[in-house]
């Protein structure tokens, strides 16, 4: 059964990046992953804004790492997708797949 | 590896104006990216974008708080400005033996050249400097009070209020008519300098309150 | 002599009461908006207590103060608009007496134009009010005055012959909004003036003067009958600015040139 929680395209990309990175997912690698896969840069601020929204809805959880001198003495904040988050990702994929199926361009070609 | 320091201005702005709960981690990420070879201009762009995005997101997350804070902010700012300029400033002018109402800061219509022709350049510059100082003081006090009253949302509240004050100056200048703003550049520059600096002073007031709180904790 | 309606300490007290009360109410509202309800309530209660104390003091001062009666020749300033009676003349008119009160009005302001914000009425010791009679020949009472400018005008009143002591009273229309008047205590002062009869008055005629004028009117009418139609026309009794008791009145009758001089005071 599909969950009622819909997520935006960007939020989906962030969650997929988190799932791909596993335990080492924090701001920098997530934005790099999205840039690598999509071909365009994303602002770190936007990534964190999306992560805050997802955390508010219980789709991701965060934990604090150790501060490092490289980061000016600031700690990393790691994010992980929750079980509920995985369900939402799965449902979104199924919905999109259903909507993609049989789709053709006006010229009659398959999309 | 040689450590590369973040550009001071965007780093300060992000540290004091960034509103989100992950602002600390974000600053760390930007510093880390700098070490990995990102440029200073990239840092600037990221810092400004992050501030803007965080203000929008926080405002959407706490709309009622922001609305109440704006109402409170104007209830502080407007009467404070009125008292300062209709009481303090007038008393200062009268004690100096000058009771011409046109020199009061509220009367923007007579341009700088009119004032210098009537009161002399030195006197006009001195009075304008005092008026500007009072304006900036009002900004700092308003920002400080708001930051204290609306913790833990003091940053977003200070930024949004500062923007509304700047907007009010723009609206006010539109109401003055094009002739007033027109080609009288020194006067126009003075007006806009006051508007922008006062808005910045509100942010400074908010930052001072935050800094005081941090040292107390 | 010029008497002022308020002193600098009085004005400052009113201003401080207004500022303090407005500030307290604003602070309370701001604290409420910040959801600091306890502090908001505390500030509100303190503001109310201080404001009430000031109002009580103003009311006490009002009750204890004596009414200002300005004698003929002196002036009274209602804020920056001032008026003073300089001369009074009386003439009989049917059962009444028509009083023409010469008034000097002037501005005490340093800048800005001043004008009367209401009419002047004549009142007697019974509290009866007699409004001004329109007189197209006189300069209007509400003429605009430049700083320091003075104007002489004449106000005409039609008063019953049985009216005793007469005074001129200024019925000012308050221009400040009620909220400001309430905050400063001015509203209380207005209510107090009205119900404790503390409005300042400009003396027009004392009891002796009115009786004299009334008696004069009676004599003039009986004089008309006694001397027949030889003495006709109106007779103006001029009562000078000196003590009314020993005022001598000369009445010129238009006729064969005879003059009529009343003897002593009338009953």
A60 beta partners: A81
Average model confidence (pLDDT) for chain B?
82
Q: How far is CA C127 from CA B215, C132, C194, in A?
A: 71, 16, 12
The pair of structure tokens assigned to A10 is 């960007």
Average model confidence (pLDDT) for chain C?
74
Q: What is the pLDDT of residue A69?
A: 84
pLDDT digits (tens, 9 = 90+) for C225-247: 433 333 333 344 344 333 333 33
Last residue of a domain, one of C64, C89, C108: C64
Q: What is the mean pLDDT of residues C166-195?
A: 72
What's the domain range around C219? 208-260
Please check whether residue C225 lies inside any domain of the structure: yes
The torsion angle over the Cα atoms of residues B189, B195, B196 and B202, rounded to 10 degrees, is 160
Please check whether residue C217 lies inside any domain of the structure: yes
Please check whether residue C159 lies inside any domain of the structure: no
Q: B68 vs C31: CB contact, 8 Å cut-off?
A: no
pLDDT digits (tens, 9 = 90+) for A46-56: 999 999 999 99
Q: A77 vs B53: CB contact, 8 Å cut-off?
A: no
Residue ranges covered by each domain of chain B: 8-61, 63-216
- Give B165→chain A minimum CA distance, Å: 26
Last residue of a domain, one of C64, C80, C107: C64
pTM of the predicted structure, to 2 decimals: 0.70
d(CA A25, CA A76): 10
Cβ neighbours of B72 in C, within 8 Å:
29-30, 33-34
Q: What is the mean pLDDT of residues C87-102?
A: 87
Q: How many CB pairs under 8 A join A and B?
A: 76
Comparing B25-39, C31-45, C49-63, C188-202, the range with the smallest average pLDDT is: C188-202
Domain count, chain C: 2
CATH topology of domain A9-100: Arc Repressor Mutant, subunit A (1.10.10)
Please check whether residue C254 lies inside any domain of the structure: yes
By a Cβ cutoff of 8 Å, what residues of chain C touch chain B?
A: 19, 22-23, 26, 29-31, 33-36
Q: What is the pLDDT of residue B65?
A: 94
Among B146, B148, B152, which residue's Cα sits nearest to residue B69?
Answer: B146
Cβ neighbours of B45 in A, within 8 Å:
43
Chain B neighbours, 3+ Cβ pairs < 8 A: A, C
d(CA C201, CA B201): 55
Cβ neighbours of B52 in A, within 8 Å:
45
């Amino acid at each position: 059964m599909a969950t009622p929680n819909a997520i935006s395209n960007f939020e989906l990309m962030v969650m997929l990046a988190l799932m791909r990175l596993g335990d080492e997912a924090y701001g920098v690698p997530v934005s790099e992953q999205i840039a690598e896969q999509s071909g365009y840069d994303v602002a770190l601020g936007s990534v964190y804004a999306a992560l805050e929204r997802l955390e508010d809805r219980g789709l991701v959880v965060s934990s604090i790492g150790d501060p490092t001198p490289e980061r000016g003495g600031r700690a990393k904040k790691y994010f992980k997708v929750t079980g509920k988050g995985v369900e939402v990702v799965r449902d979104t994929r199924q919905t999109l797949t259903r909507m993609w199926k049989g789709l053709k361009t006006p010229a009659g070609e398959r999309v | 590896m040689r450590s590369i320091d973040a550009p001071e201005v965007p780093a300060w702005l992000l540290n004091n104006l960034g509103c989100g709960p992950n602002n600390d981690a974000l600053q760390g990420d930007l510093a880390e990216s700098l070490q990995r070879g990102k440029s200073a201009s990239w840092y600037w762009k990221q810092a400004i974008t992050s501030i803007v995005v965080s203000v929008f997101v926080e405002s959407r997350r706490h709309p009622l708080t922001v609305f109440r804070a704006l109402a409170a902010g104007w209830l502080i700012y407007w009467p404070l400005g009125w008292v300062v300029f209709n009481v303090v400033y007038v008393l200062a002018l009268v004690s100096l033996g000058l009771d011409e109402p046109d020199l009061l800061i509220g009367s923007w219509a007579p341009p700088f050249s009119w004032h210098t022709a009537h009161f002399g350049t030195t006197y006009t510059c001195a009075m304008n400097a005092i008026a500007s100082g009072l304006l900036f003081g009002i900004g700092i006090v308003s920002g400080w009070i708001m930051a204290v009253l609306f913790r833990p949302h003091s940053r977003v509240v200070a930024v949004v209020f500062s923007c509304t004050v700047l907007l009010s100056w723009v609206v006010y200048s539109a109401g003055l008519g094009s002739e007033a703003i027109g080609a009288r550049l020194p006067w126009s520059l003075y007006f806009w300098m006051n508007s922008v600096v006062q808005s910045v002073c509100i942010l400074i007031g908010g930052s001072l309150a935050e800094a005081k709180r941090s040292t107390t904790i | 002599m010029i008497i002022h309606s308020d002193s600098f300490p009085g004005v400052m007290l009113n201003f401080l009461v207004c500022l303090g009360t407005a500030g307290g109410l604003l602070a309370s509202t701001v604290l409420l908006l910040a959801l600091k309800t306890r502090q908001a309530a505390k500030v509100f209660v303190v503001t109310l207590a201080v404001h009430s104390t000031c109002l009580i003091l103003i009311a006490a001062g009002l009750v204890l103060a004596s009414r200002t009666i300005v004698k003929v020749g002196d002036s009274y300033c209602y804020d920056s608009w001032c008026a003073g009676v300089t001369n009074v003349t009386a003439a009989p008119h049917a059962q009444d007496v028509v009083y023409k009160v010469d008034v000097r009005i002037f501005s005490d302001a340093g800048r800005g134009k001043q004008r009367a914000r209401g009419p002047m009425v004549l009142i007697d010791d019974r509290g009866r009010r007699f409004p001004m009679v329109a007189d197209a020949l006189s300069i209007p009472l509400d003429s605009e005055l430049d700083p320091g400018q003075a104007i002489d005008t004449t106000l005409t009143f039609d008063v019953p012959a049985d009216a005793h002591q007469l005074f001129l009273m200024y019925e000012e229309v308050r221009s400040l909004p009620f909220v400001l008047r309430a905050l400063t205590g001015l509203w209380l002062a207005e209510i107090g003036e009205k119900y404790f009869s503390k409005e300042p008055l400009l003396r027009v005629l004392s009891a002796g003067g009115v009786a004299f004028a009334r008696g004069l009117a009676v004599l003039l009418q009986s004089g008309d009958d006694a001397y027949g139609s030889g003495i006709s026309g109106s007779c103006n009794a001029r009562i000078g600015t000196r003590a009314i008791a020993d005022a001598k009145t000369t009445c010129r009758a238009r006729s064969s040139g005879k003059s009529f001089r009343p003897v002593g005071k009338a009953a």
